[in-house]
Structure 1
Amino acid sequence: MHPNTVSTGCHWDGSPRTTRPRRPLRVTAASPSRLLRAGQSGRCRRCGNRIDFYQRADQRPIALHPAELATTHVPDSCRWHLSCGVAIPHGDGSAWCRIPHAVLCPDRTPTAQTGPHIEAVRRQLAVRTRRLIDAGAFTPAPPTACEPPADSDRPARSVVQLLLGRYLADAPLADIRCVAQTRHRHRCPQPVLAPNTPQGMWTLLPASPQRGQLALPAGIMAVYNLSRLPYAEQMRWRTQRCPVHAATPGAADLALAGWQVFDPLLHTEHIHTRLPHTTPRHHGKA
């Protein structure tokens, strides 16, 4: 007798063993977004519930509730559907639709009449939030005070001029991080502001609106200007990639790029009228 059973191609009941081959995650070349599906899920910072991130047609991210809801229970203004991985703000004619998480978040005050079915989902998410807090799996973020940054020479969110437009970053200039996936399937830790690459320059430019935005009184603001750099370098910044991953088009993204189209009316608190006097970390003179 053998001490161990000889491995065969069948289970103990005689049914065949089926082994599915492991396939690496890849992004199709025709996809409008290079973001992997694994990088689109997250947790709401205010309630701890799961959310799915998608890009809109204007490349701005939006957080959607992960489950579909019946279209008859969702107001027209809250209906979204997905087309080729892009979130579109209206129904697609089907009986189901997606809904923004902001409408369901129990930590937010609803701004419109939603109906009993939406309120029932909100209560379910509120109960789940309480369970996460009681289990120690989630700690609500403390309310942030609207105070100016302590270091006025280092804006909390930098305004960058590139590709004939102005964009607001989600972090200081030196902290803008590459969004690409490494070989170990982690997010790249390298910054976009890399040494040995063409550098931009902090300059004072008129706070003039872009096309489609309302005009403001005359004024100036500090902008990190990249408009004189080659087109490929400006695209590297726009796609938020380090030089290594910018040269690797096959690498997918594990996070959305943190750019927002700068609007002087909506982003007034990020307008600085003085140039930064500090030099970005690990970089030469801009």
Structure 2
Amino acid sequence: MRPNSAASGHHWDGSPRTPHIRRPLQVAATSPSRLLRTGHCSRCRMCGNRIDLYQRTDQRPIALHPTELPVAHIPAPCRWHLSCGIAHPHSDGSAWCRIPHAVLCPHRTAPAQLSSHIEELRRQLAVRSRRLVDTGAFTPPPPPVSTCERSTEKGNPALPVVQLLLGRYLADRPLEEIRCVAQTRKRRRCSQRLLTSRTAAGRWRLLPASPQRGQLALPGMLMAVYDLSRLPYPEQLRWRTQRCPVHATAPGAADLALAGWQVFDPLRHAEHIHTRLPHAAASCQREA
């Protein structure tokens, strides 16, 4: 007998084949958040428990507990709700709300005057975190190091301050390690870096540590800032949205991660203020 290698619509036992149709995900152009649902889920670096990441109204990320909780058991300052993918710091009038993970994280100090329901949730997360450690599924982070030790091999700050679009932002990693947040055709996060040899680079400069709108002023000092303000507007927008040159011109591509920028505050981020230029930039200026 010759095996029949021709493709058919049935299995060997006669059952019909049901082909798996891949359903593409699309983001509406008018959506305030371009982050896909798969990019929201993550795990806390401190305790290993699951968290959901969302953007706030001020475009800063916030980690929320993945489960909705009854409003009656949550204090008013801890209530959050979601609308169009954006987290808002109050309840929406329903009987349920979300709560920041920082309130429940067992690795953090418990806030004062917690309800019995929240304290029980903290104990449950502490037990779950201990189980993850015992089974080897989670490794606690090492103790924090000083700002002087957190520097790259090139002498650049580990968390640089970048000036673009008439504002200053604090990055969440060195400049050479900032990745594109867009989704590729293979449904994976793009591996391209923002700073490459084919793209226009900024310049390290010593600029006054002047506050932005709504921030308190500091005594006059100069700080090292990676200045991108001289680049064209589309290039600055590419850095702000954290996209590589290919995905910067692809508005239909969604994001698989939140952009790692924080609005720089001289008081809150005082440990990241450097009064000297990085070694690589300083040596280049001396040679010039």
TM-score computed with the length of structure 1 as normaliser: 0.89
CA distance in 2, matches of 1:88, 1:244: 32
Unaligned runs of 5+ in 1: 10-17, 280-284
Instruction: Report the more deviating stretch, 146-155 or 246-255.
Output: 146-155
Aligned to 2:15: 7
For 2:247, which of 245, 248, 251 is the aligned residue? 245
For 2:228, which of 208, 226, 231 is the aligned residue? 226
Cα shift at 1:186: 1.5
CA distance in 2, matches of 1:79, 1:205: 39
CA distance in 2, matches of 1:4, 1:156: 59
Aligned to 2:120: 120
Aligned to 2:93: 93
Residues 196-249 of structure 1, C-alpha deviations (whole Å, 9 max, x = no match): 322211111111111111111101011111111111110000001110111111
Aligned pair 1:44/2:44, yes or no? yes
Unaligned runs of 5+ in 2: 1-10, 282-286
Cα shift at 1:50: 0.4
Paired AA for residue 47 in structure 1: C
For 1:175, which of 171, 174, 177 is the aligned residue? 177
Cα shift at 1:59: 0.6
Aligned pair 1:161/2:163, yes or no? yes
Instruction: Report the more deviating stretch, 180-189 or 98-107.
Output: 180-189
C-alpha contact (below 8 Å) 1:206/1:218 kept by paired residues: yes
TM-score computed with the length of structure 2 as normaliser: 0.89
Aligned pair 1:34/2:38, yes or no? no
C-alpha contact (below 8 Å) 2:39/2:257 kept by paired residues: yes
CA distance in 2, matches of 1:51, 1:77: 19
C-alpha contact (below 8 Å) 1:202/1:275 kept by paired residues: yes
C-alpha contact (below 8 Å) 2:147/2:272 kept by paired residues: no
Aligned residues: 271
CA distance in 2, matches of 1:69, 1:150: 38
CA distance in 1, matches of 2:215, 2:227: 20
Aligned to 2:59: 59
C-alpha contact (below 8 Å) 1:70/1:96 kept by paired residues: yes
C-alpha contact (below 8 Å) 2:50/2:66 kept by paired residues: yes
Across the aligned residues of Structure 1 and Structure 2, the Cα RMSD in angstroms comes to 2.1
Cα shift at 1:147: 4.2
CA distance in 1, matches of 2:123, 2:177: 38
1:185-204 residue pairs with structure 2 within 5 A? 185-204=187-206
